[in-house]
């Protein structure tokens, strides 16, 4: 009998599935505020100018399509280390491996835990990016949740988080943290709160796994390292998973890196060898193009300045959209203050809309947001803000 006849259909991805529904929606007034990609004022997800310029150079100068080393392109890896750690930690203590996107970095981190840290459990925020659970489950790492978003669905439950990390974890457990622009809530700890979190991690001997998918989207490239700095200044070991999908707009090129910080250089050498062996059996070596683009930009001061400018443009535009949404909602007379959105960071916000209101937005107005009420602010549009806010006001009344 055909073996695959017994295969059951897997549920569609909760967020990417919305994209398919959006594409099939015939309403010309449809709006997609679900999937986490940046869009400019014309509704496009643009190729950054610095990326185009770097690609031009690469096409002209490319001499081979030979394999990259298992751990990726060396100058790219060095740039990642400096972006994430600056020079705060000696390079001999950090093993960086280029990965296919931030997802690849998280998966490589989980694989390292699976192969080298038996009995480890990972603690994940409530709520978190839905793929986090799946990634750790795929590597057989058990997970549990710590409190993060307060019951008001607007603010950070620092007391709950510290209580859970102190009272529920076992020494040696891992804790997954969002360095900035928490997905899906947009709610980030302050610098002082990061110090408090870091102190608990150190005191309880917990392993921090820092998901850094939005460096530069919060307050700035360097400003957004506040969590990494607070943690690495008191913890001897940490894992950072970088993604350059958003900040370089290189989504489909799959550019990321996992950086493992160990207590000393000898340990780092051993960890690096294990990371490489995991890559080898998984996908052998990473794709070249996206990482070469990033390295070309960061190797060149003019292109780097161009990148900083374009990143600032994206960040400021998202902040302006938040402000415009909050102000426009006030004019609808819906009587619901969305001012809390102004304290949130990055592309996403928890709007507080319930699943019924989310359904109504979609069915009546063809406005797509995620069932949890998560809105991709970067998908809003200046010119259509009135339309959006009128629809939101109608469903919350
Ligand atoms: N972590 C978080 C929190 C994310 O939001 C994303 C992207 N949606 C990723 C990791 C992975 O990004 P990438 O597309 O680079 O795999």
Residue 98 CB–ligand 1 contact under 6 Å: no
Residue nearest to atom 1 of ligand 1 (CA): 213
Which structure tokens are listed for 4? Answer: 């695959």
Residue nearest to atom 7 of ligand 1 (CA): 213
CA angle 245-318-83, nearest 5°? 40
Of 188, 192, 183, 191, the residue nearest 155 (C-alpha): 188
Query: What is the spatial distance between Cα 266 and Cα 293, in angstroms, rounded to a whole number?
Result: 31
Report pTM.
0.96
Of 141, 98, 136, the residue nearest 120 (C-alpha): 141
Q: What is the pLDDT of residue 395?
A: 95
**Helices 289-298, 301-331: inter-axial angle, 10-degree rounding:** 100
Residue 256 CB–ligand 1 contact under 6 Å: yes
Number of H helices, E strands in the chain: 13, 11
Probe target for ligand 1 pocket from 14, 101, 216, 239, with the most ligand atoms within 8 Å of CB: 101
Query: What is the spatial distance between Cα 322 and Cα 346, in angstroms, rounded to a whole number?
Result: 10
Q: What is the pLDDT of residue 26?
A: 95
Counted residue by residue, the chain has a size of 397
DSSP-assigned letters across all residues of 175-194: EEEESSS-TTT-----HHHH
What is the chain's pLDDT, residue by residue, as a tens digit (397 residues)?
899 999 999 887 877 788 889 999 999 999 999 988 999 998 899 999 999 999 999 999 999 999 999 999 999 999 999 999 998 999 999 999 999 999 999 999 999 999 999 999 999 999 999 899 999 999 999 999 999 999 999 999 999 999 999 999 999 999 999 999 999 999 999 999 999 999 999 999 999 999 999 999 999 999 999 999 999 999 999 999 999 999 999 999 999 999 999 999 999 999 999 999 999 999 999 999 999 999 999 999 999 999 999 999 999 999 999 999 999 999 998 888 999 999 999 999 999 899 999 999 999 999 999 988 999 999 999 999 999 999 999 999 8
Q: What is the pLDDT of residue 334?
A: 86
- CB–CB of 242/215 below 8 Å? yes
- CB–CB of 179/224 below 8 Å? yes
257 DSSP β-pair partners:
98, 242
Compute CA 241 distance to the chain's CA centroid, rounded to the nearest angstrom. 9
Residue 211 CB–ligand 1 contact under 6 Å: yes
DSSP-assigned letters across all residues of 100-167: SHHHHHHHHHHHHHHHH-TT--EEEEES--HHHHHHHHHTT--EEEEE-B-TTSSSB-HHHHHHHHHH
Positions marked active-site: 129, 211, 246
Residue nearest to atom 8 of ligand 1 (CA): 36
Task: Compute the distance from residue 243 Cα to the ligand 1 centre, in Å.
Answer: 7
Q: What is the pLDDT of residue 23?
A: 92
Residue 125 CB–ligand 1 contact under 6 Å: no
Residue 268 CB–ligand 1 contact under 6 Å: no
């Amino acid at each position: 009998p055909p073996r695959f006849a017994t295969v059951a259909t897997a549920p569609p991805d909760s967020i990417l599935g919305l994209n398919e529904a959006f594409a099939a929606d015939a309403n010309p007034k449809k709006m997609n505020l679900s999937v986490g990609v940046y869009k400019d004022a014309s509704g496009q997800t643009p190729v950054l100018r610095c990326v185009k310029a770097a690609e031009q150079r690469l096409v002209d100068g490319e001499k081979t399509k030979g394999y990259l080393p298992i751990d990726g392109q060396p100058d790219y890896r060095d740039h990642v280390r400096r972006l994430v750690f600056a020079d705060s930690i000696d390079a001999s203590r950090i093993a960086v491996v280029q990965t296919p996107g931030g997802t690849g970095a998280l998966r490589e981190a989980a694989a390292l835990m699976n192969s080298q840290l038996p009995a480890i459990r990972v603690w994940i925020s409530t709520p978190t990016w839905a793929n986090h659970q799946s990634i750790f489950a795929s590597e057989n790492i058990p997970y549990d949740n710590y409190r993060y978003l307060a019951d008001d669905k607007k603010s950070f439950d620092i007391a709950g988080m510290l209580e859970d990390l102190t009272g529920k974890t076992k020494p040696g457990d891992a804790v997954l943290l969002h360095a900035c622009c928490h997905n899906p809530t947009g709610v980030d700890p302050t610098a002082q709160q990061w110090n408090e979190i870091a102190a608990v991690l150190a005191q309880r001997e917990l392993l921090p796994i820092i998901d850094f998918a939005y460096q530069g989207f919060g307050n700035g490239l360097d400003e957004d390292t506040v969590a990494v700095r607070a943690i690495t200044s008191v913890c001897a070991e940490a894992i950072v998973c970088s993604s350059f999908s958003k900040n370089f707009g290189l989504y489909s090129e799959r550019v990321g890196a996992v950086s493992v910080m160990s207590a000393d250089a000898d340990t780092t050498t051993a960890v690096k060898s294990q990371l490489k062996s995991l890559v080898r059996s998984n996908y052998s070596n990473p794709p070249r193009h996206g990482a070469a683009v990033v390295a070309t930009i960061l190797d060149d001061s003019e292109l780097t300045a161009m990148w900083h400018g374009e990143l600032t443009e994206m960040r400021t535009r998202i902040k302006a959209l938040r402000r415009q949404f909050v102000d426009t909602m006030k004019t609808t007379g819906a009587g619901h203050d969305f001012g809390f959105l102004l304290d949130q960071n990055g592309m996403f916000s928890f709007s507080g809309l319930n699943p019924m209101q989310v359904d109504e937005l979609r069915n009546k107005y063809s406005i797509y947001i995620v069932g949890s009420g998560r809105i991709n602010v970067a998908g809003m549009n200046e010119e259509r803000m009135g339309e959006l806010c009128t629809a939101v006001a109608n469903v919350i009344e």
